[in-house]
Each structure stands twice: as C-alpha cells, then as structure tokens.
A = this chain, B = another copy of it.
Amino acid sequence: MSALPTDLEIARAARIRPIGEIAAAAGVNADALEQYGRYKAKIDPARLAAPEPHGKVVLVSAMSPTPAGEGKSTTTVGLADSLARAGHKVMIALREPSLGPVLGMKGGATGGGLSQVLPMDEINLHFTGDFHAITSANNALMALVDNHIYQGNALNIDPRRMTFKRVLDMNDRSLREVVIGLGGPTQGVPRQDGFDITVASEVMAVFCLATDLADLRSRLGRITFGYTYDRKPVTVADLGVEGALTLLLKEAVKPNLVQTIAGTPALVHGGPFANIAHGCNSLIATQTARRLADIVVTEAGFGADLGAEKFMDIKARYGGLAPSAVVVVATVRALKMQGGVAKDQLARPDLAALEAGVANLRRHVHNVEKFGVTPVVAINRFSSDTREELDWLLAWCAAEGVRAAVADVWGRGGGGDGGDELAALVAQAVEAPSSFRHLYPLELPVEDKIRTIAQEIYGADGVDFSVPALRRLADIERNGWSSLPVCMAKTQYSFTDDASRLGAPKGFTIHVRDLLPKTGAGFIVALTGAVMTMPGLPAVPAALRMDVDDAGNPIGLT
C-alpha cells in the first residue's frame, strides 16, 4: 500500500496561478497590489478602490480540541472553497504561521490535504517578512529601553520591573530565562530578562488589532514596557520611539494575498498567540477582505471558549465587526476524547464515548448563541470515523436544534464536493436574522468581566483571585486601565483551568493567578495557569528532516 501523500506533496502537485490573476478576480485594483515573488502579494488598503467593509463574517471556531488539533484551518479553507464553488464571492482571512513551531514539531500551518493555502512552503517559512518586521520592532524597542537606562535613565525606569521582553521567532528554551548586560560598565546594565517567541509579543497583538497606520502608531505608543522606581508605568510614547516602531512596520501592516488549492483568494496576515493574546489574524486583513468579498471566512485560535469569546469581546469590539455565523468544528476523535477515551485509542469506533463526550460540544454551541450569533457544527471527517458515528452525531445535532454537516475538505476538498453541505448551511445561517452582542460591557470592573466569562462561557461557579492578582487589580484601577476588555489565558483542553477535566464540567472555580495589562493591544490578560511564551524544541526536531533538493524545492515541510 502506498503512503498517503504529504501536505507538501499535495501542495506541490497543485496548479498555482500567478497572484495577479487571483487579485484581479478578487477585485483588487492593480495599483493596490504589491507582488512578493510570483505567488504572494501585499494589498495596500489605502490604495484599494473597493468599497467600505460590507462582507459578512463567518468565524470558524471549535469544540475543545485534542493536542493534534481538529482541523480549524483546513475547515476554514475548505468551507471558503465550497462557498466559492456555490457561486458566492468569498475571501479567507487566516493567521500567518510562526517559524519556530515549523522547525520544531508541526512542520507547517496552512491547512491540509486538498484544503491548503499556497505556496505552503513560503507561507510557512519567511512569507513576506511580517513576523521578522514585528521581531525587529519589538527588539528595537528593548534595545532602545536598555540603552536609555545605560545612558543615564532620565525616565527613572526600574530594571527589576520590566514587563516587556525581547523576542525571536524560534523555539528556543535556553532563552526563557537569561541575564543580560554582563561584562562591565561599557556593556549595559545587568538585569534578569528572557525572550518570548514573536507571536507572544505585544507588538504582534497591537499589529493585529490596529485599524490603520495611525491607530497602529497610537497603540504602539500606549504599550507599557515597565515601571519606574516609584512604580509608575512607562510607555513607548514616554520613550518617544513609537514613530520608529511604526516605520519598521509600515510595509508589514499591509495584508498578504495568497490562494487556496482551489483558487480562492486568502489574506494571511498576523498571528498573535491565542493564550496571552487574542489569537486571530489582523483586523486590517479581515476588514480588507470585507471590502472585497460578500462572505469572509476567518478563524480564531483554540476552542470556542477562548478563541470565539476573544473574537467577540476584543477583536469584534475594536473593529466594529458583527459576525454573522460561527462554525464550530467538531471531530468524532475529539468527542471521544472528551468522553474519556485515551489518546491512543481515538481511532477505535466507540459510540458510548461519543455520547459521553458530546456535552462538550453542546456547551460550545450554546455559548455561541449567547453572543446572538447562529452556530453551525462542522463535523470534520477523519478516515477512522465510522458511518454509524457520523450518523449518530448528525442526529444528535438535529435533536439539539443545531445546524450540522459532515465535511471532508481534507480528502475531497472544498474545491471538490467535500464541503458542499456545510457551505449550504453556512450560506443559510449568514442570511438568518442575528443580533450580535458582546458578553459584557467595558464599564464592568475587570474582576466582574472575568467572572462573567468564567460563569457564562466556562460554566464555572466563580472566580478565585490570588493575592498577586488582587494587588494587580488595584494597580489596574489606579492606572486607569479598568475599562479594557479581558483576554483569558486558560488551557484549551478543558472549560476549566485544569487540562485533565473533560466534557462539560460543573461545580468548579477558575483560579486567576496574575493579570498582565497589555495597554497597547488594549486588553488585560488574566492568567489562570502557567503559560509557555517560549516553546522548546523536541528531541527530534522537524528541522532534522528539512532540506532543499537540487532544483531548490523544499523537502520535509509537512
């Protein structure tokens, strides 16, 4: 039996069209298009002749996932391809992959099978350099801050109270905790420090929430990078370098146009972490897509308890967006895991486990309704799923009163017939009357915002704040940051803050360990556990399999 083709093999076998053709078909005027190689381009929103944003937004989210992921990006791509096939004017808005994990474990993050964005190798590697520009802006800030301290420290910055780190787009555990500025009086001022991965940078979050270049500049200026010796926050604007950081980002901020295997236009732009940030592609990309298309299919990180909630309460709020439908991706595998089946047994047919696990899906689906938006369940088909399992799940959804369809966008593609039913349901849903609302008003105190999310979305009884978190709540009040929305950093594997509690648990408390004000991005991160902001490499990194053949073609991206 021959092996299944890898994503890279499928991608390379696909016919890819010159990006100018894709742009023209999408209605991008030529002078708004800046090509980057043959198959990538940036769109300058300021030169775009398209009308104001009008396209309906379909958000692709998911039930609580397995560690392997439930195929949100693949479903996003496949759904858009199917909508296009049905005659809709559609555009995709996706996050850019981070290079660090590509070299480490994942190999790539551009969808899979027949539902991929192309050119997958270039998107997974440096793409158009946006993350490098963000890395540069972040690190320029920290070089300027440490230089300010070294040159006399007129701002009275306390080197022990820095809240901002340098970043690399790399999985490099050795840089998590470092001491810098060693070597004597000409080498800077010694202090404890650390590096995050670029997607964890607040510059990334700012980049993805900015509405335009002027808003980007203001947000950068509002970033708090540390505190003075008398505990006053110090911002980028205090240092006077928001202009330089904006200059470093002025090209990166233009959305990147690529295409799916089926030729659907996709904007792939920005990629903040889904834990300590909001986990969606840039607002500028989403709004640019809404100017060009009638339906925009986009994605949020992790499950709907995290990604969708943040999309609704952070991104949609700053962007003035109202999503018209939310697709909740579910898999038979993930439902069985939520039903208590061990990870290595998920391929075995097990109706009882499915039935036990479906409570997880139920809570996610009804959560979506709390925002006044119609949910559609996309059952992303795996080859191990039985017809009996799929039929049971469809029947359950029907009984629950939830639109649902099985999609095989990996194997048959949205460009084929793999997503036709799903697309039809989504097309109906976006036409259905909806009354989008945020979960909480901004005037609510920060602790009450957190309580609202924990009770309404997670199903918790209440929230417990640690002593440091209580102290931080007082700081937030004093510094005038109380009206910012909240960004929850919680495990994606459970509604609780304990990854091992599956299904739809009740009778639990959410523990807020600490709060991180991100005053540039414009949210308060609530940490409910240890959050890894600099991943490590595994014992056998994906990089060991990577290479280039004699013709310059990539090898080993999967």
Closest to A214 in B: B550
In the complex, the answer to whether A547 meets B244 with C-beta atoms within 8 Å is: yes
> Which residues of the partner chain B approach A248 to less than 8 Å between Cβ atoms?
125-126
Residue A182 at the chain B interface, CB threshold 8 Å: yes
Residue A316 at the chain B interface, CB threshold 8 Å: no
A539's partner among B126, B151, B240 (CB-CB below 8 A) is: B151
Closest to A122 in B: B251
> Can you list, as one digit per residue, whether each of A451-476 has a CB less than 8 Å from chain B (1) or not (0)?
00000000000000000000000000
Q: Quick one: given A122-B251, A182-B179, are A243 and B548 in contact (CB under 8 Å)? A: yes
Stretch of A35-43, A48-56, A493-501 with 4 or more beta carbons under 8 angstroms from chain B: A35-43
Residue A366 at the chain B interface, CB threshold 8 Å: no
In the complex, the answer to whether B139 meets A548 with C-beta atoms within 8 Å is: no
In the complex, the answer to whether A126 meets B129 with C-beta atoms within 8 Å is: yes
Stretch of A78-86, A167-175, A289-297, A336-344 with 4 or more beta carbons under 8 angstroms from chain B: A167-175
A393 to chain B, nearest CB (A): 39
Question: Which chain A residues (32-73) contact chain B, with CB distance < 8 Å?
Answer: 34-38, 42, 46
A28 to chain B, nearest CB (A): 14
A175 to chain B, nearest CB (A): 6
Bound form: Cα–Cα A251–B247 in Å? 24
A125 to chain B, nearest CB (A): 7
Stretch of A142-150, A202-210, A326-334, A376-384 with 4 or more beta carbons under 8 angstroms from chain B: A142-150
A146's partner among B126, B172, B181, B183 (CB-CB below 8 A) is: B172
Question: Which chain A residues (1-57) contact chain B, with CB distance < 8 Å?
Answer: 34-38, 42, 46
Residue A133 at the chain B interface, CB threshold 8 Å: yes
Bound form: Cα–Cα A247–B121 in Å? 10
Residue A424 at the chain B interface, CB threshold 8 Å: no
In the complex, the answer to whether B214 meets A187 with C-beta atoms within 8 Å is: no
> Which residues of the partner chain B approach A551 to less than 8 Å between Cβ atoms?
46
> Can you list, as one digit per residue, whether each of A269-313 has a CB less than 8 Å from chain B (1) or not (0)?
000000000000000000000000000000000000000000000
In the complex, the answer to whether B35 meets A213 with C-beta atoms within 8 Å is: no
In the complex, the answer to whether B183 meets A187 with C-beta atoms within 8 Å is: no
Counting chain B CB atoms within 10 Å of each CB, the highest count among A46, A217, A552 belongs to A552
For the residues of A in contact with B, the DSSP-based class is: mixed
Copies in the complex: 2
> Which residues of the partner chain B approach A536 to less than 8 Å between Cβ atoms?
147, 150, 188
Residue A558 at the chain B interface, CB threshold 8 Å: no
Residue A349 at the chain B interface, CB threshold 8 Å: no
Bound form: Cα–Cα A243–B553 in Å? 11
Bound form: Cα–Cα A515–B551 in Å? 37
Residue A395 at the chain B interface, CB threshold 8 Å: no
> Which residues of the partner chain B approach A432 to less than 8 Å between Cβ atoms?
none
Residue A425 at the chain B interface, CB threshold 8 Å: no
In the complex, the answer to whether B170 meets A176 with C-beta atoms within 8 Å is: no
Closest to A99 in B: B136
> Which residues of the partner chain B approach A171 to less than 8 Å between Cβ atoms?
143
Question: Which chain A residues (143-162) contact chain B, with CB distance < 8 Å?
Answer: 143-144, 146-147, 150-152
Residue A546 at the chain B interface, CB threshold 8 Å: yes
In the complex, the answer to whether A548 meets B246 with C-beta atoms within 8 Å is: yes
Bound form: Cα–Cα A552–B34 in Å? 15
Residue A237 at the chain B interface, CB threshold 8 Å: no
Residue A177 at the chain B interface, CB threshold 8 Å: yes
A541's partner among B122, B147, B541 (CB-CB below 8 A) is: B147
Residue A317 at the chain B interface, CB threshold 8 Å: no
A176 to chain B, nearest CB (A): 5
> Which residues of the partner chain B approach A319 to less than 8 Å between Cβ atoms?
none
Residue A516 at the chain B interface, CB threshold 8 Å: no
> Which residues of the partner chain B approach A146 to less than 8 Å between Cβ atoms?
172-174
In the complex, the answer to whether B546 meets A37 with C-beta atoms within 8 Å is: no
Residue A543 at the chain B interface, CB threshold 8 Å: yes
> Which residues of the partner chain B approach A356 to less than 8 Å between Cβ atoms?
none
> Can you list, as one digit per residue, whether each of A84-125 has a CB less than 8 Å from chain B (1) or not (0)?
000000000000000100010000000000000000001001
> Which residues of the partner chain B approach A556 to less than 8 Å between Cβ atoms?
243-244, 247
A173's partner among B139, B147, B172 (CB-CB below 8 A) is: B147
Residue A140 at the chain B interface, CB threshold 8 Å: yes
A537's partner among B135, B143, B174, B183 (CB-CB below 8 A) is: B143
Bound form: Cα–Cα A244–B545 in Å? 8
In the complex, the answer to whether B37 meets A244 with C-beta atoms within 8 Å is: no
Closest to A103 in B: B140
Residue A513 at the chain B interface, CB threshold 8 Å: no
Closest to A136 in B: B99
Q: Quick one: given A136-B170, A168-B139, A171-B143, are A34 and B34 in contact (CB under 8 Å)? A: no
Counting chain B CB atoms within 10 Å of each CB, the highest count among A42, A186, A244, A546 belongs to A244
The 6 closest A-B pairs by CB, nearest first: A243-B547, A132-B132, A174-B188, A177-B183, A129-B129, A244-B543
7 A-B residue pairs with CB within 8 Å:
A126-B248, A136-B169, A136-B170, A147-B174, A150-B174, A243-B546, A250-B552
Give me 20 other A-B pairs in contact (C-beta within 8 A), A147-B174, A244-B546, A246-B548 excluded.
A35-B37, A36-B37, A46-B551, A125-B248, A125-B251, A126-B132, A126-B133, A129-B132, A139-B170, A144-B541, A144-B543, A147-B537, A150-B174, A174-B180, A174-B187, A174-B188, A177-B182, A178-B180, A213-B548, A244-B547
